[in-house]
A and B are shown apart, each in its own frame.
Chain A
Amino acid sequence: MKCEHCDIVERKSKADILYEDDEVVVAIKDLAMTPGQITVFPKEHFTILEVVPEEILEKCSLIANKIGIAVFESLGSQGTNIIIQNGLGAGQKVPHFAIEVVPRVENDGLGLQWDAKQLAEDEMATVFMTLEQGMKELDSSAEAEKTKGKDETGKDKKNSKEDDKNNYLLKSLKKIP
């Protein structure tokens, strides 16, 4: 499968590489929300956030933070957005997890907003209950995963066993032309 970010790693792309180590790549891509946008992504091909191992995610986030600081201080930006587009519905275009650092200045015309909704009390309560329940399930499955992982390797098996939803997400991402 063709992946734009893997192409960058293999030097098959026009993007400039700003930094690279064994795990993380920082690149300036030709397609950007605004000039100066910088993309931080793991070297290994992970499709979505949910399958990125914690150590790699942590490293990506620290590097994205540093890029953010560098952007503030050397591009004269007045602000930054740090964005992860996770899944097709969230605007993810490349099937390879990435953190985008977007420098902002006043009146730059970037949208990146939303209309805040006013939810009724009972709607809020319903969502809250759903998430509370979901959280419990997540915790118990994580617990089960942990003990299973210990039996096998003694290490957390890096989230390899994902739920159906994630598989669905992965599948839909593979459909990207």
Chain B
Amino acid sequence: MDPQQLTPEQQKEMEEKLKNMSPEELMEFQKQQCIFCQIISGKIPAKKIYEDDKVLAILDINPAAKGHILLLPKEHYAIMPQIPEKEVGEMFIVAKKMSKLLLKAIKVSGTNIFIANGLVAGQKAQHFMIHIIPRKEDDGILEVEEKLTDQEMRTKVKSLIENKFNELMGVKKEVLQVESSDEEVKEVEELEEPEEIKETKKPAKKVKKKAVKKKGKRENKEKVEEEKPEKESDDKDDDDDDDGGNASLDDIANLFK
């Protein structure tokens, strides 16, 4: 999907143009460059299996197996974390429908629902998609080996992820601070850590919406700066720093250009 070859001068001109674009113009530009956006708008033909106002399901022209379906959000998103919550849920419900269709209409012994977020995960297009792949035993698709991980590693993963995940879920953890005045306290959990931990549930949706909005803005800004593909693998344990945390996500989204 390489764009036409540019001379160094043209490239420079292009870079200059990109720099001067407003976030809205940039988004528009990105969409113009995206083959799947063109399929969605009907400029490029595709074999459509399902369509509603939010999503489009088409046959992959280079499938892993006959009947390989690509489920696309009509809006242009690069990776899953950018998609509004409601749409994520709706997409999975359509994915279930597509899987059911494959099981029913094609003789297969299973399906994979597969999402790749980021180049290293095998994402090939800049438009987010859910693959629904019909499977047969020993077809060599999505082969992977499972290994035993040790307890130490699992505990480490848990402790690294827990804070951020609870934050996203709207579960607030306060260490050694028990306030009985808060009515929303639903559960007190004893974890492996020695500290006493209190969990407070708060409406998760609100928090999430804000985060998404913020991310969108950030992405646009970064897009301008980010010309050389620089990879940041920030192993940040500091979850309180929202901006720093989002940066790595945006980097991943921006790897596609």
**A and B from one assembly?**
yes
Contact residues of A with B, CB < 8 Å? 14-16, 18-19, 26, 28, 30-33, 35-36, 38, 49-50, 52, 54, 57-63, 65-93, 102, 104-106, 108, 110-119, 123-124, 127-128, 130-135, 137-138, 163, 165-166, 169, 172
Contact of A79 among B117, B136, B143, B234 (CB under 8 A): B117
Contact of B168 among A69, A89, A115, A117 (CB under 8 A): A69
Interface mask (B129-159 → A, CB under 8 Å = 1, otherwise 0): 0000101110111111111110101110110
In chain B between 80 and 122, which residues have their CB closer than 8 angstroms to a CB of chain A?
80-81, 83, 85, 88-93, 96-97, 99-106, 108-122
Question: Given the complex, which residues of A lie within 8 Å of B137, measured CB to CB?
Answer: 88-89
Between B66, B67, B96, the greatest number of chain A beta carbons within 10 A of the residue's beta carbon is seen for B96
Task: Report the separation of the CA atoms of residues A166 and B103 in the bound assembly, to the nearest whole angstrom.
Answer: 7
A132 touches B133 (CB 8 A): no
B146 touches A33 (CB 8 A): yes
**Can you name 16 extra interface pairs (CB under 8 A) apart from A58-B89, A80-B80?**
A30-B148, A30-B151, A54-B93, A57-B89, A74-B160, A76-B233, A78-B252, A83-B112, A87-B103, A91-B110, A92-B110, A117-B64, A131-B102, A134-B106, A135-B50, A166-B100
Known: A16-B158, A114-B142. A72 touches B64 (CB 8 A): no
User: What are 26 A-B interface contacts by the 8 Å CB criterion?
Assistant: A16-B158, A28-B157, A31-B149, A35-B153, A57-B92, A67-B165, A74-B160, A76-B248, A79-B120, A81-B114, A83-B113, A83-B115, A89-B136, A91-B135, A91-B144, A104-B121, A110-B144, A114-B64, A127-B66, A127-B67, A131-B101, A133-B105, A134-B104, A163-B104, A169-B103, A169-B110
A74 touches B233 (CB 8 A): no
Task: Report the separation of the CA atoms of residues A16 and B64 in the bound assembly, to the nearest whole angstrom.
Answer: 34
Nearest CB in chain A to that of B83: its residue: A65
A67 touches B161 (CB 8 A): yes
Question: Given the complex, which residues of A lie within 8 Å of B33, measured CB to CB?
Answer: none
Measured between C-beta atoms, what is the minimum distance from A167 to chain B in Å? Answer: 11
Contact of B65 among A33, A68, A117, A134 (CB under 8 A): A117
Known: A28-B158, A112-B142. A50 touches B99 (CB 8 A): yes
Contact of A65 among B85, B119, B236, B252 (CB under 8 A): B85
Task: Report the separation of the CA atoms of residues A26 and B245 in the bound assembly, to the nearest whole angstrom.
Answer: 22
Contact of B110 among A33, A59, A88 (CB under 8 A): A88
Known: A28-B158, A66-B169. A72 touches B66 (CB 8 A): no
Task: Report the separation of the CA atoms of residues A84 and B154 in the bound assembly, to the nearest whole angstrom.
Answer: 21
Nearest CB in chain B to that of A52: its residue: B96
Contact residues of B with A, CB < 8 Å? 47, 49-50, 59, 61-67, 69, 80-81, 83, 85, 88-93, 96-97, 99-106, 108-123, 133, 135-137, 139-149, 151, 153-155, 157-158, 160-166, 168-169, 208, 231, 233-237, 239, 245-246, 248-249, 252
Contact of B112 among A60, A90, A115, A116 (CB under 8 A): A90
Counting from the closest, the 9 A-B pairs by CB-CB distance are A87-B110, A79-B118, A134-B105, A89-B109, A90-B110, A79-B121, A58-B89, A114-B64, A89-B110
Measured between C-beta atoms, what is the minimum distance from B198 to chain A in Å? Answer: 16
Nearest CB in chain B to that of A32: its residue: B149
Question: Given the complex, which residues of A lie within 8 Å of B236, measured CB to CB?
Answer: 73-74, 76
A16 touches B155 (CB 8 A): yes
B66 touches A74 (CB 8 A): no
Question: Given the complex, which residues of B lie within 8 Å of A31, measured CB to CB?
Answer: 146-149
Measured between C-beta atoms, what is the minimum distance from B15 to chain A in Å? Answer: 25
A82 touches B67 (CB 8 A): no
B112 touches A74 (CB 8 A): no
Question: Given the complex, which residues of B lie within 8 Å of A91, measured CB to CB?
Answer: 110, 112, 135, 142, 144
Nearest CB in chain A to that of B109: its residue: A89
Task: Report the separation of the CA atoms of residues A110 and B24 in the bound assembly, to the nearest whole angstrom.
Answer: 37
A86 touches B119 (CB 8 A): no
Task: Report the separation of the CA atoms of residues A154 and B153 in the bound assembly, to the nearest whole angstrom.
Answer: 48
